[in-house]
Structure 1
């Protein structure tokens, strides 16, 4: 293998790790029956003409195991925050108390657990797509290097390297999904 043509597998791996990190963040937002401030991380509020993370419009607290509260800083934003929570698909019904929004976390029933496992599967599929997009970029780099004079043996080597990296991360996504689904279905 000549050193003239090197594919940046470190960059590809860094980007695949980014997809895994995003997946772990999304999984953290799926509730499993206990209150957690991280479950609100993906919720975006329409604030001041743009979509803003919910933690930038109020303080999120977990005063007890089955309750999350959001102390909204701007009174005019309370309705927008409530609407964002209702539309988030978390299955939580917000209760207003002035500028404080209380989110009682109901016990998960069997149907809701199944719904959450489907949501987890969608998050995992998005991560797989992101990883495959990184693979495509790596394969494009190999094709470009082939057009620039890379030998066929080197091309096969780099294609195998990129595919092995992809397989490793797809397997990590599958394992993370299995673990999260088992956690959700646990009563």
Structure 2
């Protein structure tokens, strides 16, 4: 049976839009997981720190170069050697639990290995982020399903809407599976000693 082509294009546009929205939700989950530190040194871990630079609070990354030396060590190369004590003080006052030492030119920041309790709390946080993303995807499915039903009121046959709803459900299931896979990988990463 042939359907009105503009209606079919409209349904496909809605499905494409749903996929883009679900992809954004998945991307948000990826970003949220990336921000959760599993005890590995990342230069971005110190982005929120401010240093007293000539009496003004200045973001650390504006007074020094931060890089990763290994999985548990960051190196901070200040632009001016006189800022080393201020940087060490900012790290100590941050209560991040990092130890620092300097050789007069740069600061080495060592991260302690996370405790079992800390890893378990990180897993809870990860599961919470995954659930938030799954809820967003299910809400998108609900919203686009309502949009498809509204299209049916405009004269599109019910079987065409049912096929579109099936595609929407398959899309939803695919993105939820992707989030679950991401969750499994991140959980294993966090729990690894």
- TM-score when scaled to structure 1? 0.70
Structure 2: unaligned runs, 5 residues or longer: 50-58
Matching residue within 109, 117, 133 for 1:111: 117
Equivalent residue number for residue 169 of structure 2: 163
Q: Aligned pair 1:93/2:97, yes or no?
A: yes
1:125-181: per-residue Cα shift (whole Å, max 9, x none)? Answer: 121122123212311220220121121111211111111100110111111101111
User: For 2:28 and 2:43, how far apart are their aligned partners in 1?
Assistant: 17
Check conservation: 2:38, 2:114, Cα contact below 8 A. Answer: yes
Equivalent residue number for residue 6 of structure 2: 4
Check conservation: 2:98, 2:112, Cα contact below 8 A. Answer: no
Corresponding residue pairs, total: 167
Equivalent residue number for residue 123 of structure 1: 129
Report 1:10-159 matches (<5 A). Answer: 10-37=16-43, 40=45, 60-68=66-74, 92-93=96-97, 104-159=110-165
- Which structure has the greater CA radius of gyration? 2
The Cα RMSD (Å) is: 3.6
Taking structure 1 as reference, are residues 157 and 30 closer, same or farther at Cα in structure 2, changes over 3 Å only? same
| Deviation at residue 56 of structure 1 after TM alignment | 8.3
Structure 1: unaligned runs, 5 residues or longer: 46-52
Taking structure 1 as reference, are residues 140 and 64 closer, same or farther at Cα in structure 2, changes over 3 Å only? same
